């Protein structure tokens, strides 16, 4: 069953009018990648909500902070050309990061993200890239198992923002039940 704008606003109250923009594209993306049913949808919306500041940010705010400066030259992200760190900063609702991830995501979605990384800032691509990432990391299985901490680790690489993510998840489970 698709998520409604009212449900999305109950889960992510700070999304405001962005909820109306994102509801149709989230439903399309979630359906395409099998993110259906309460456990999956609740975990996905909670993670997307945290990563995007409740649907308000589709591009990582760039300082660069010390962590962001560390993206430069990171072979594990495929950042091999000077400037890749900033060019391939986190974008989309789950913040796809790094040249290699942009290449893989672009191939999966039929987009030239290496030449036009900003395409991930458009709502339909921001949502679809998040669902693609979710799928490639096997997160539906973890959502079915209720393993929200492992989902967070696969998305974030650690447990940054776990309390906020958990609060959004707990709320989403109630709203979508």
Quickly tell me which residue has 């990648």 as its tokens.
33
How far from the centroid of its chain's Cα atoms is residue 81's Cα? 25
Kindly tell me the sign of the dihedral angle through the C-alpha atoms of 45, 52, 85, 111. positive
3-state secondary structure of 95: coil
d(C-alpha 5, C-alpha 19), whole Å: 6
Q: What tokens appear for 7 in the block?
A: 């449900």
d(C-alpha 134, C-alpha 151), whole Å: 9
Which one of 51, 60, 72, 118 is the catalytic residue? Answer: 51
Question: Does the annotation mark 5 as catalytic?
Answer: no
Instruction: Name residues whose C-beta falls within 8 Å of residue 24's C-beta, 6 or more positions apart in sequence.
Output: none
d(C-alpha 70, C-alpha 120), whole Å: 22
**Active-site residues: which are they?**
51
């Amino acid at each position: 069953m698709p998520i409604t704008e009212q449900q999305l606003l109950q889960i992510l109250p700070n999304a405001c009018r962005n909820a109306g923009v994102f509801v149709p594209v989230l439903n399309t993306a979630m359906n395409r990648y099998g993110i259906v049913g309460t456990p999956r949808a609740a975990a996905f919306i909670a993670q997307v909500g945290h990563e995007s500041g409740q649907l308000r940010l589709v591009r990582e705010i760039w300082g660069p902070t010390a962590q962001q400066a560390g993206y430069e030259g990171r072979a594990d992200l495929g950042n091999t050309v000077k400037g890749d760190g900033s060019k391939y900063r986190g974008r989309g609702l789950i913040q796809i990061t790094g040249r290699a991830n942009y290449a893989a995501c672009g191939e999966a979605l039929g987009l030239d993200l290496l030449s036009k990384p900003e395409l991930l800032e458009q709502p339909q691509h921001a949502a679809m890239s998040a669902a693609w990432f979710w799928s490639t990391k096997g997160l539906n299985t973890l959502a079915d198992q209720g393993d929200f901490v492992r989902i967070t680790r696969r998305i974030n690489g650690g447990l940054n923002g776990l309390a906020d993510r958990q609060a959004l998840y707990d709320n989403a489970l109630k709203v979508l039940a």
